[in-house]
Amino acid sequence: MREQWIQPILDEAAKNGLERTAGVYPDTGGKIVIDGKTVLNFSSNDYLDLSHHRHVMDRSREALDQYGIGSTASRLVTGTLPIHEELEARLAAEKGYPAALIFGTGYMANAGTIPALAGRDDLIFADKLVHASMIDACKLSGAKLVRFTHNDASALEQRLEQYAGAAGRKLIITESVFSMDGDIAPLQEIAALAEQHDAMLMVDEAHSTGTFGPNGAGLIREYGIEKSVTVSMGTISKALAGFGGFIACSENIRRLLVNSSRAFIYTTAPPPAVIGAALGAMDVLEASPNLGNILQANSNYFRTMLHDAGLDTMQSESQIIPIVIGDNETALAISQRLRKEGIIAAAIRPPTVPAGSARLRLSITLAHHVDDLERAAKRIISAVKN
């Protein structure tokens, strides 16, 4: 009985409508069949509807057949296969950087990169809403963490000026499309500030990879600011429908990470089937460069319907559309009601989002056709308003 301390914590979470459980779903993607009924899933990050794409699955299977199940060693021992290098070369070229490095997950890409760039004597300037994986990485780095108001370049500038005389390296971190708000960072202004203050800049493009920019290369590429963004981070687990994370960077940063990033060195190389799937997803992006544009046009259409009905979609400008409810229990009740009406819209509650801003977080995917979106908008508006 050394576990008595756990029950009160669980009871408190349950009392506040904050207990989390992992529901089980029979399939993946934006449209799934549950008990014989087709359900619209607005809580999947399969933005481009690639999770069951034939070519992506074929390339995954080919890699599985050729190399077997696991890579059987870490990258620096014998785990690096030709397809790891092929994928890295392709990611680097797509993102417009000299090099790229794959990690086991997006979480690990952040956890493995930030502590290699900044340490105990350094400063990290982080947007207030950056993803938990970036915050954990900052803690791991031991650097002094300075937060700035969300998406506010002038607040960042003030912070940089405040620490202008500080010794040590400076690193600014932000996301391009924010994961819970769906809004877009003022990247060009932030990149200019990074140049001006001689700070490194790392941008998490987890939700803009595949969904924005030429061939889905993301917003850094779209704005042409690769030279001012030291590290472009991305994940394969969202629009690319598979699993894994990566960074695009200079050759030197890649070499530094290969030699010092613990999340790269001390773990098994990503398995062949996962890498094959990522290559397949990149083939699709190359062959159909318009997918991101279609996704954004559909998302705009959907958001406008919600907005016109008076729903608060915050500053969303992407395929991620929050509907702010506020109270945890109400958000949960609306989510449960929608579920009965064939719509999955997860209620996102603190600590994932700030207290008092519980919300439905909707992800639009290419599995949702215009008539699906129209039907869903009607049901969501009615559920939120009544």
Ligand X SMILES: Cc1ncc(COP(=O)(O)O)c(C=O)c1O
Determine, following the binding rule CB under 6 A, whether residue 372 of this chain makes contact with ligand X. Answer: no
Q: Using CB under 6 A, which residues numbered 123 to 152 contact ligand X? A: 131, 133
Shortest Å, Cβ 177 to ligand X: 8
- Residue 316 engages ligand X in binding (rule: CB under 6 A): no
Return the number of the residue (114 or 383) whose C-beta is nearest ligand X. Answer: 114
Residues with Cβ < 8 Å from 87, sequence gap 6 or more? 100, 102, 275, 278, 279, 282
Site for ligand X contains 179 (CB under 6 A): yes
235 binds ligand X per the rule CB under 6 A: yes
Which CB, 238 or 368, lies closer to ligand X? Answer: 238
- ∠ CA 298-302-305, nearest 5°, is 145
**Number of neighbours of residue 115 by Cβ within 10 angstroms:** 21
Q: Where are the alpha helices (DSSP H) in the chain?
A: 6-15, 54-67, 82-95, 106-117, 132-141, 153-162, 187-196, 219-223, 251-260, 262-265, 272-287, 291-308, 328-340, 370-385
3-state class (DSSP) for residue 105: coil
Q: From the CB of 103, what's the least distance to ligand X, in Å?
A: 9
Nearer to ligand X, 183 or 204 (CB): 204
Q: Is 86 considered catalytic here? A: no
Do residues 380 and 368 lie in contact, with contact meaning Cβ atoms separated by under 8 Å? Answer: no
Q: Is 207 a catalytic residue?
A: yes
Paired tokens of 286: 């190359």
- Would you give the binding string for ligand X spanning residues 89-108, x where CB under 6 A is met? ----------------xxx-
Task: Pull the structure tokens for residue 138.
Answer: 């900052």
- Contact between 237 and ligand X by CB under 6 A: the answer reads yes
Contacts of 198 (CB under 8 A, 6+ apart): 170
Smallest distance from ligand X to CB 195, Å: 24
From the candidates 207, 318, 335, 357, give the one annotated as an active-site residue: 207
What tokens appear for 130 in the block? 């950056």
Mark 185-224 with x for binding to ligand X (rule: CB under 6 A) and - for no binding: -------------------x-x------------------
Q: Which is nearer to ligand X, 199 or 247 (CB)?
A: 247
Choice between 245 and 276, CB closer to ligand X: 245
Is 131 among the residues known to form the active site?
A: yes
Residue 365 lies near ligand X (rule: CB under 6 A): no
Sites for ligand X among residues 150-169 (CB under 6 A):
none
Examine the residue annotation and report whether 45 is marked as an active-site residue of this protein: yes
245 scored as a contact of ligand X (CB under 6 A) = yes
Cβ–Cβ contacts within 10 Å for residue 297, how many?
12
Active-site residue, from 44, 179, 208, 261: 179
Query: Which residue, 268, 273, 278, 245, is CA-closest to 105?
Result: 245
| Binding positions for ligand X, 48-87, rule CB under 6 A | none
Which residue among the candidates 53, 131, 197, 368 is catalytic per the annotation? 131
Min dist CB 179 to ligand X, Å, is 3
Number of residues this chain uses to bind ligand X (CB under 6 A): 13
For the question of residue 204 being annotated catalytic, the response is yes
Beta carbons within 10 angstroms of residue 308's beta carbon: 10
Q: How far is 20 from 350, CA to CA, in rounded Å?
A: 11
Active site residue 41: no
Minimum Å gap between C-beta 269 and ligand X is 16
Lateral strand order in the sheet of 144-148: 99-103, 245-249, 231-235, 200-204, 170-175, 123-127, 144-148
Q: End-to-end distance of the chain based on CA atoms, in angstroms?
A: 47
Question: By Cβ distance, which residue is nearest to ligand X?
Answer: 106
By annotation, the residues acting in catalysis are 45, 131, 175, 179, 204, 207, 238
Q: Which residues bind ligand X (CB under 6 A)?
A: 105-107, 110, 131, 133, 175, 179, 204, 206, 235, 237, 245
